[in-house]
Amino acid sequence: MKTQKVILNSDEIPRQWYNIQADIKMNPPLGPDGNPVTPDALAPVFPMNLIEQEVSDQRWIDIPEAVLDVLSMWRPTPLVRATRLEEVLDTPAKIYFKNESVSPPGSHKPNTAVAQAYYNKEFGIKKITTETGAGQWGSALSFACSQFGLECKVYMVRISFDQKPYRKSMMEAWGGKCIPSPSMATKTGAEILKNDPDTPGSLGIAISEAIEAAVTDPSGETRYSLGSVLNHVLLHQTIIGLEAKKQMEKIGEYPEIVIGCAGGGSNFAGLAFPFASDKMNGRDVEILPVEPSACPTLTRAPFVYDHGDTAKFTPLMPMHSLGHAFVPAPIHAGGLRYHGMAPLVSQLAVEGIIDPRSVSQLKSYEAGVTLARTEGIIPAPETTNALACVIEEALKAKAEGKEKVILFNWSGHGLVDLGAYEKYFAGELKDYSLSEEDQAKSESVFKDFPKPEILSSK
């Protein structure tokens, strides 16, 4: 049999998340006054139970039963050996993937959406606002809110809203409300529309609208939610890597190379952090976050203090950043078009625990098509970046004649993003590269900000 899957039983689902904050030293986020941000300062934006997770240094955090219950709709997810890909590449490498595309919204995003909806509900919140670019996150949060009876309002970047009407319908099917951003529903939005009625919008604007809508709700029953970057978001994703480790153990394997695509960093972190922990304890494993060459934060941008959003609402965060005003080229992996990188992932890169890679758009779609025709699942545009790296490493193993064990995260399927494949087949997709000049210009925004320390966790 070519098909080799490792399936865990429902009772083998991990019952705790792994909090890597217990194991690495971090620069604190800084407020407008230049001092570390206090939990209280975040209280209008997030519920306190999530803020506590954001700053926790407890290594293991219990997953609430109600969260496990919803995750169990599709978890544990399968670990699959990509034997058909191995055959086509004729490689001695043994390639495994964690299939996160099997969730109802089709990606890893609900792992944290469900947890965040639960904690908001527990804290007495009635409504959650968020932004979405490509639409994966907005869909996942709408799904999660439907499970906990919360209202969900999603500000979707207008150009995506217009190009991807299916995403709006997905959110609506789960009871979410999806609004093109900028909108007249917020001051920020109204002001932008006054000056530029035809603006395509941006993730930065959408974040500003979602935060404004949350903090200005007079009932005090609304909070904001983010789908990546933050510590608690990455924490919730570690269930991926913890499951994968159990599954690899069952078949007596341990990966020599761990690969995930990286935009804000959450699907990569979800798979990689439990292995990064082993590495910090002396285990030999290469860990490769893969980003698009059009938005090369880890591979080209400096480690600095910068804002998480264009409008500078967020605290200064220690991260690899191309500058908060950076507008990435219009690649189709919308989930990877982010100017910064999660502070936790950035810190691992600074310490050399992970080894970042970048790939071009055409290379990634080529890999995506190869995977669709071998392993059967049409990958999300984001996932294809990881796939290009997997193929590269598998061919390297072949050249070296080594039976390497590769593990990667199949973060989502591309069934609601098929427009990008259409363009790929029509020869209309192109590669983008960031010129050094443009990069320098976009990075000028943080030149007067404080600099993070180069910390070492060892």
CB of 440 to a copy of itself, least distance (A): 38
Residue among 106 and 260 whose Cβ is closer to a copy of itself = 106
For residue 405, give both structure tokens. Answer: 């064990």
Distance CA 228, CA 230 (A): 6
Of 32, 36, 39, 165, the residue at the interface with a copy of itself (CB under 8 A) is 165
Q: Which stretch binds a copy of itself (CB under 8 A): 15-23, 142-150, 254-262, 382-390?
A: 142-150
Binder of a copy of itself out of 58, 169, 216, 433 (CB under 8 A): 169
Determine if 104 is a binding residue for a copy of itself (CB under 8 A): yes
Kindly tell me which of 173 and 190 has the beta carbon lying closer to a copy of itself: 173
Beta-ladder partners of 426: none
Q: Report, in Å, the least distance between residue 105 CB and a copy of itself.
A: 9
Q: Single out the residue of 373, 430, 441, 451 in contact with a copy of itself (rule: CB under 8 A).
A: 373
1 lies in the binding site for a copy of itself (CB under 8 A): yes
Place of tokens 């994703």: 237
Question: 57: which residues sit within 8 A by CB, 6+ positions away?
Answer: 19, 21, 22
CB of residue 89 vs a copy of itself: minimum separation in angstroms? 16
> Which amino acid appears at position 194 of this protein?
K
Regarding 163 and contact with a copy of itself (CB under 8 A), the answer is: no
Please state, in angstroms and rounded to a whole number, the distance separating the CA atoms of residues 151 and 126.
Answer: 6
Beta-sheet pairing, 16-18 with 60-62: antiparallel
159: contact with a copy of itself by CB under 8 A: no
Distance of CA 72 to the CA centre of its chain: 21
Residues 76 and 239: their CA atoms lie apart, in Å, by 9
Query: Which SS3 state, helix, strand or coil, does residue 278 take?
Result: helix
Q: How far is the CB of 60 from a copy of itself (least distance, A)?
A: 21
Helices (DSSP H) in 301-380: which residue ranges?
343-350, 361-374
Closer to a copy of itself by CB, 179 or 317: give it: 179
**Nearest one of 203, 457, 221 to 352, comparing CA atoms:** 457
265, 271, 274, 277 alpha-carbon torsion, rounded to 10°: -50
**Minimal distance, residue 178 CB to a copy of itself, in Å:** 11
Residues 403-422 that bind a copy of itself (CB under 8 A): 414-416, 418-419, 421-422
The answer to whether residues 392 and 346 touch, using CB atoms and an 8 Å cutoff, is: no
Task: Tell the burial category of 438 from Cβ atoms under 10 Å away from its Cβ (0-12, 13-18, 19+).
Answer: middle
The correct pick among 41, 102, 285, 327 for binding a copy of itself (CB under 8 A) is 102
9 sits near a copy of itself (criterion: CB under 8 A): yes
Which of 354, 358, 346, 341 shows the shortest CA–CA distance to 275?
A: 354
Site for a copy of itself in 170-229 (CB under 8 A): 170, 172-175
- CA–CA separation, 100 vs 262, rounded Å? 15
**Phi, psi of 195, deg, nearest 5:** -80, -30
We find the least distance from the C-beta atom of residue 415 to a copy of itself, in angstroms, to be 5
Looking at residues 244 to 273 of the shown chain, list those that interact with a copy of itself (rule: CB under 8 A): none
Residue with token string 């966790």 = 457
- 428 is a site residue for a copy of itself (CB under 8 A): no
User: Based on the number of CB atoms within 10 Å of its own CB, is 417 exposed (0-12), middle (13-18) or buried (19 or more)?
Assistant: buried
The residue from 77, 147, 310, 346 that contacts a copy of itself (CB under 8 A) is: 147
Kindly write out the interface string for residues 56-75 of this chain, putting x where it contacts a copy of itself by CB under 8 A and - elsewhere.
---------x--xxx-xx--
Q: How far is the CB of 165 from a copy of itself (least distance, A)?
A: 6
How crowded is the C-beta side of 280, counted as CA atoms within 13 Å?
Answer: 21
Which 310-369 residues touch a copy of itself, going by CB under 8 A? 368-369
Q: Which string of x and - marks every residue 20-49 that binds a copy of itself (by CB under 8 A)?
A: ------------------------------
Least distance to a copy of itself, CB of residue 309, Å:
29
Nearer to a copy of itself, 143 or 408 (CB): 143
DSSP state, residue 108: S
Residue 265: closest CA among 156, 359, 368, 340:
340
Q: Which residues 72-101 are close enough to bind a copy of itself by CB under 8 A? A: 72-73, 80, 84
Neighbours of 446 (CB within 10 A): 20
Q: Which residues bind a copy of itself (CB under 8 A)?
A: 1-3, 5, 7, 9-10, 65, 68-70, 72-73, 80, 84, 102, 104, 106, 143, 146-147, 165-166, 168-170, 172-175, 368-369, 372-373, 375-378, 414-416, 418-419, 421-422, 425
